[in-house]
Structures are given as C-alpha cells and as structure tokens.
Structure 1
Amino acid sequence: MSDSIKVSVVIPLYNAERYVGACLNSILSQSLKEIEVIVIDDCSTDNSLEIVKYFNDNRLIVLRNEENQGVTKALNRGINLASGEYIARMDADDIAFKDRLKIQYEYFQENNNIDILASQVVYLHECSESGEVKFNMKHKELTDKKIKGVMLAYNPLMHPTVMFKNNEKAIYDETVNVSQDYMKWLDLLHSCNFSIIKRPLLFYRVTEGSVTNSSKNNKIERHSIIMDKFNKKNNISISKKELKNYLYAIHSPNKSEISMGMLDQTFNLYKNHLYNSIKCSSIIEYRFGYIWLSVLVNRRSYKRIFSKWTVKGSVYILYKIIKDTQCKISFLINKKYNENIKL
C-alpha cells in the first residue's frame, strides 16, 4: 500500500468503446489527485482497449486478460494490484461527478467506523427515446442498521458508487459471476459497517442490456443464486420451494400462487437470523410487512390481514410517504434556490 495514493479506482472493461472515454475523462479529472486508475480489459473485441491506451496519464494502469474471465475475476485482479488506502468501484459506461472521490475519501476520514460507502446516482436512461435524465428519489441517506435491515430483501448499494477499505475483505467471491457485489455485501453483513450518503456522485447509465433494466425473471434467478449461497453459508434452513416463494413475493407482479403461510415462516427465519447476528431485526420486519401487504393487495385476499406483518407494512408505507414528501419538497426548494442564484 502506498502512502501517496489515497484511492485506487478499479474499472473492469469489456466492449465499452462507446462509453469508456467519457468514463476515464471523469475519473482522471477528479478533484482528488492522489489516485491510481486500474483498468482490467477482459478480452474486449471492439476498440475499447485502444481508446483507453490513448489516455496519457501516469496514474493510469492498463492490463489485459489473456482470456475472458468475467467481471468478478477482473475485479479481483485489479484489487490485488491496488496500492491505495481505499478502493473505488467504477463501471466503464458510467460517469463520476468531479468531486466523487474527494467527498467519499473525506467521509471515511470523518467516519473511521465505516468500511463500505456508497452514494446515490443520477440515472441516464439511454433506452428512453427522449434521453431524459431522471434523478434517483428512491433511497435516502441510509445508516448501517438500515442497510443491513433491508439487505435480505434487496441490494440497496449501487455498485459503481462504492468505495471500501483496501484490506483482506476487499476481494470478491469468484464462484459468483452474477450480482457479485450483492454476494460480497451479504458475506460482510456481520463484520463490516455500511453507509450510503444521500447526494448523487455518479451518472449511472441504464441501457436495454443492463442489469438495472433486466426482466423480473432474470432478477429472480440472480437473487435466487445469491440467497441460496447466503443460506448455505449461514446454515439457514430454507428449502428451494420456500426460497422461490419468498423471491416471487418480492419480484413477481403476479402473486396469486404465493403461499402466505410459507412466506410467514421464511420471514421469521430471516428476522431471527438478523436479530441473533447483528441486532437489526426490527428494520427488516417493516420491509417484510411492505412485501406482505403487496401480496395481499395483489391477491385481493385479506384472510391474513390481521397478521403482525400487516401492521408493520402499514407503518412502513406511512413512513415512506412522509419521507418521500420531505425529500421532494427539499429537492424543489433547492432547485428554486439554485435557479435564483444563477439569475
């Protein structure tokens, strides 16, 4: 590890000739200068590598795999070479805000207990005909307990915004080639502290082939792979049928075949695991309650409406409405203020 390098940015690269130039421009022009940028080309078949080599910057390290190995191994190769105090993730098709690395680095200096830090994003919907840029209003600033409390239901961290400490926990599980970030966060659930800052620090590109824009079936399949591994690693006894029931309750628009009794049992198993291991079971109860209510409404069956999950879900929805309203009001006030300043 080098004292002079504060952050190592690791970028896995595969056939991103349309975007990698803008990506590298955004990273190499960061306000934080004490960085290195490690690009691992995973045997691109287009002009991606040639575009990267065009950049003349001694902070840039470019390597090419001899054969295509996938994102996870490319990431680990870059991480093993990193000499910075912290490692920042970046995808070759995204664009970082100018102060991204500076803001995250300073956050770590002020919060020594945090191990993994993410931020919000501004979505670039390339698949939209209008090319509209949408501000992400879904998530607010999340503390460690809130992140861990929802982690078994969904992955709240945007992977390309993540920065983490450069230590033995930095490596990804190479047996996982899809949603490797989600697997990593679940593996570190018990040993690391997380945080998500509320301001966006990255333009996140959504294309027709991206994970964010993928079908519900693909999301269920990926989520199933990760949760099955998590269950085995943590000795949580949930059958494949129970896991499928749980994931369909989260992701599927058609919830008519979901067993409420089985869902209740799965909720309790995960809640107890979180309580026994990291003491944040109350947060996941509200998220599970929200899922429970969505199933009841979709099925138009209210036989279990007096369940404890219904109460938790109702409180969660009320809280979400209040917080979303506060966020939108704040956003509009800041927008108006900024317009007045420009005038």
Structure 2
Amino acid sequence: MQNRPVPVVSVVMPVYNAEKFLREAIDSILAQTFSDFEFIIINDGSTDGTKEIILSYDDPRIVYLENEQNYGICVTLNRGLDEARGKYIARMDSDDISMPERFAKQVEYMDSHSEIGVLGTDIEVFGEGITNYIFTQSYETNMCSAGLLFNPSFAHPTVFLRTETIRNNNLRYKDEFRGLEDLKLWWDCAKVAKLANLPIVLLRYRKHLAQETKNVNPRKIQQSNNFRAERFESFGFILNDKEKEVLNNYSYGNYSLFSTPELHTFMDVLTRIIHNKQYPIITSKKALKVVGSKAIAYTIIQSDKLKANKIAHLNKAFIRGLIPFVWYMKYLFHFAK
C-alpha cells in the first residue's frame, strides 16, 4: 500500500455481516466520476459472505483490511481514519448508494472552501416497504453548527472530512458515545472548523431493520441524555433536573408532555444559550436563535396542550428575543391558518 500514489480522497467503509446490500454500495463507489481515491474497506469480524464479496473485486483502489474480531463501529472507523492517506476522508456505509457525481461535487466544494472541515449532502431515503423521500439538511455553516444542539446536522455516510482538521486536532470517534459517535465527532469538529452541507442529493440512504440506528437500548438513551446535557452546559451553565427532563422530552418527540410550564422552562434554557457571550462551537447568535425558534414553534404545533393559545405562546417567545422578526412573521402566518 505504501507504494501506491497518495490519493485525493480516502473512502472509509466499515463492514459487518453486510452481504445483502454490499455489492450495491461497493459498485456505487467504484462508479464515481471522480476516480482519484482509495477505497478502504474494513471487515469488522463478519461471519457471513462479506469477505468473499469484497475479495471478488479486482480494483487497485480497494484496500481491504480485516479486524481480528468484531470490535464495533467506533474502533473500526478510527482504524479507517488512521489508514487514510487522502486530503479528504469520505464516509460510506455498506448498505447505501452514492450517486456517481458525489465525490466530484464534494471535492470541488472542499477545494474552494478551505475553512470547511466537514461537508455533507442531502439524501434520498429508500427501502423496502417505505415511500422514497428526500431529506434535506441545513446548509449554511453557522446553522449546521447550531443545529448540533438537537440533532447531528449530517447524514453520516454523506460526509467528507478534511484530513488535516482531523489529524491536527486529534479528532476521533469515541467508543463511550457508541450510537452517538457521529454527533459527538461533529460537535468536536465544530469547535475547530466550519461545517456545511451541499443542497443536493448525493447519496441514497437505505432504511432497513438491521440498522444500528434502530437498536435503541437503555445504555444508548442514558448516553444521549448525558451528552445532550453536556452540549447545553458547555455554554457555561448547569441544567437542573427539570430542564434536563424538558430537553429530553423535546428530543424524543414527547410533545404531549409539554404544557405552559414546560414550554417556559424550554424558553428559559434557550434564552441562556442565545444570550451567552461565548460559544463553544463556531456558530452565531442569529443561527442559535433560528434553531431555538424552530424548536419552540414545532413544540407549540405538536403539543395539544399548547395549541389553544399558540399565538400567545409565540408572542411570548418573540418578546423574549428568541425568534427573529422574519421567522416570527412566518410562524404567525402559519399559526393563523
């Protein structure tokens, strides 16, 4: 491998018992119109026909690695980060399909925007038994970072990482955050670099029952709760138990638990976030206000306990400085329907 020319892109794809969809994923990478890449495929102790499928390909860009046993996603991804030699690291999952122009468009953008450390794209969601739909992301860099308060802001397998950003700041996938390893990495990246998404579908994201993201358990829930508190507390204040409960209810979509006191607690937390003088991530007050205002508006819409006085609640949030005027007018028009 050391005698191979250094590529522009290093594709990192962890694989575990992925024989059902693996060929489609590999073929979509090998069919990229931008061809200057190495394709690092790491077999994480598969027991099905995964290895045979990978080794059936005769393409010099494929770098096959094999873990001695099943170490899990974080250890495997970090091995990929360590092996990568390219200027950029492209993530890929073994059940998804990259569009042919994906690498060309992401390389072009990253080359033209040296401040961007992480770049994702929109996705088309598909799978057996579902109707295909387009999932769009936030595109503007401050909005991507601000959005990390509540969600990952990226579809993980679409991401391009700037290798220099990863190596210079010793950024890693952290096994103690398994199940949230991507969100944790984006949060750490947002402290040292800007983030962005391209407003174009460059990956088809497959939904199926075997996905890791569907395996929710008490450990993952507790990790999620702890990391959510960590993100908010990094703005310089400690959340009390009621505030943590309200934030968790919002994040899990438990809108039926929101009445006026819970909404006001939510507003209290967002007020402290927005009016904080120093931010732990690279973002802006405006972006944080937009993200917060969307959360408030969506909660009012979804909670039956708040709908009767939804405009009064909206007005209170606006008066408190939580909603930009333009967005206030948009929400007001929507609520008045």
Shorter chain as denominator, the TM-score bin is: 0.7 to 0.9
Q: Which residue of 1 aligns with 2:178?
A: 177
Shift of 1:134: 2.2
Q: Which residue of 1 aligns with 2:153?
A: 156
Matched residues in 2 for 1:35 and 1:220: separation?
37
Q: Which residue of 1 aligns with 2:73?
A: 71
Q: Secondary structure at the match of 2:116?
A: coil
Q: For residues 227-249 of structure 1, what are the alpha-carbon distances to aligned partners after superposition, in whole Å with 9 as ceiling and x for unaligned?
A: 24435666541245422311212
Structure 1 residue corresponding to 2:305, chosen from 300, 308, 314: 300
C-alpha spacing 1:216/1:46, structure 2 compared with 1 (3 Å)? closer
Q: Which residue of 2 aligns with 1:330?
A: none
Matched residues in 2 for 1:285 and 1:252: separation?
20
C-alpha spacing 1:98/1:186, structure 2 compared with 1 (3 Å)? same
C-alpha spacing 1:308/1:173, structure 2 compared with 1 (3 Å)? same
Structure 1 residue corresponding to 2:271, chosen from 268, 273, 286: 268
C-alpha spacing 1:65/1:236, structure 2 compared with 1 (3 Å)? farther
1:249·1:255 contact (CA, 8 Å) conserved in 2?
Answer: no
2:149·2:232 contact (CA, 8 Å) conserved in 1?
Answer: no
1:134 counterpart letter in structure 2: Y
Q: Which residue of 1 aligns with 2:132?
A: 133
1:174 counterpart letter in structure 2: D
Structure 1 residue corresponding to 2:284, chosen from 268, 273, 280: 280
Q: Which moved more, 1:231-240 or 1:81-90?
A: 231-240
Shift of 1:200: 0.9
Shift of 1:53: 1.2
Matched residues in 2 for 1:296 and 1:214: separation?
29
1:54 counterpart letter in structure 2: S
Shift of 1:117: 0.7
Q: Which residue of 2 aligns with 1:338?
A: none
Shift of 1:187: 1.4
Q: Secondary structure at the match of 2:176?
A: coil
Q: Secondary structure at the match of 1:306?
A: helix
Q: Which residue of 2 aligns with 1:291?
A: 295
1:268 counterpart letter in structure 2: T
Matched residues in 1 for 2:150 and 2:326: separation?
17
Q: Mind listing any 5+ residue stretches in structure 1 that lack a counterpart?
A: 323-343
Matched residues in 2 for 1:38 and 1:225: separation?
33
Among all aligned residue pairs of Structure 1 and Structure 2, give the percentage whose two residues are the same amino acid: 22
Q: Which residue of 1 aligns with 2:144?
A: 147
Q: For residues 70-122 of structure 1, what are the alpha-carbon distances to aligned partners after superposition, in whole Å with 9 as ceiling and x for unaligned?
A: 11110000110111111000000011111211111111111122111111111
C-alpha spacing 1:214/1:287, structure 2 compared with 1 (3 Å)? farther
Matched residues in 2 for 1:248 and 1:152: separation?
14
Matched residues in 2 for 1:93 and 1:294: separation?
32
Shift of 1:180: 0.7
2:305 counterpart letter in structure 1: R
2:235·2:278 contact (CA, 8 Å) conserved in 1?
Answer: no
RMSD of aligned residue pairs (Cα, Å): 3.1
1:196 aligns with 2:197: yes
Q: Which residue of 2 aligns with 1:96?
A: 98
C-alpha spacing 1:317/1:251, structure 2 compared with 1 (3 Å)? farther
Matched residues in 2 for 1:155 and 1:260: separation?
23
Matched residues in 1 for 2:156 and 2:193: separation?
16
Q: Which moved more, 1:206-215 or 1:146-155?
A: 206-215
C-alpha spacing 1:274/1:97, structure 2 compared with 1 (3 Å)? farther
Q: Secondary structure at the match of 2:297?
A: helix
Q: Secondary structure at the match of 1:160?
A: helix
Matched residues in 2 for 1:151 and 1:40: separation?
28
C-alpha spacing 1:275/1:23, structure 2 compared with 1 (3 Å)? same
Q: Give the structure-2-normalised TM-score.
A: 0.82
Q: Give the structure-1-normalised TM-score.
A: 0.81
Shift of 1:39: 1.0
Matched residues in 2 for 1:314 and 1:176: separation?
38
2:253 counterpart letter in structure 1: S
1:260 counterpart letter in structure 2: L
1:144 counterpart letter in structure 2: T
Q: Which moved more, 1:176-185 or 1:313-322?
A: 313-322
Q: Mind listing any 5+ residue stretches in structure 2 that lack a counterpart?
A: none
Q: Which residue of 1 aligns with 2:108?
A: 106
Matched residues in 2 for 1:33 and 1:9: separation?
11
Q: Secondary structure at the match of 1:66?
A: coil
